[in-house]
Amino acid sequence: MTYVFAIIGIISSFFIVKKREYLGDCFGDPEWASKIGGIYNLLTIIAVMIFFWSVASLTGTMDVLFAPIYMFLSFGRAGGGAPEGGML
């Protein structure tokens, strides 16, 4: 079932990029989206993230994809949390 969701994710990311003008017009242009390039750029970023997530799920490399996020949230330590005496 994981493979099915990954394939659906790849296909949906393609259609998000292909139909981003239609989807952007449906959602409108919120003020906060203009700070990152507008709704069309936001939809492209979301589609790229879905694509990479789907490919990583298909190939079993989710740990490699999310390693920078884990390192950032755990401050480079295996135990996680804030460093000793530091603030979060």
Each residue of 71-83: pLDDT tens digit? 777 765 655 554 5
Residue 56 belongs to some domain of the structure: yes
Residue type, 49: M
Q: Cα dihedral sign for 7, 9, 15, 17?
A: negative
CA distance 55 to 39: 24
On whether the CB atoms of residues 17 and 44 are closer than 8 A, the answer is yes
Judge whether 59 lies within some domain.
yes
Per-residue pLDDT, 63: 84
Tell me the residue range of the domain where 49 lies.
2-73
Residue 78 lies in a domain: no
In this structure, is residue 57 part of a structural domain? yes
Does residue 83 lie within any of the structural domains?
A: no
Q: pLDDT tens-digit profile of 44-74? A: 999 999 999 999 999 988 888 888 877 777 7
Within a domain: residue 84? no
Structural domains counted in the chain? 1
The answer to the question of residue 67 being in a domain is yes
pTM of the complete model: 0.74
Q: Is residue 45 part of a domain?
A: yes
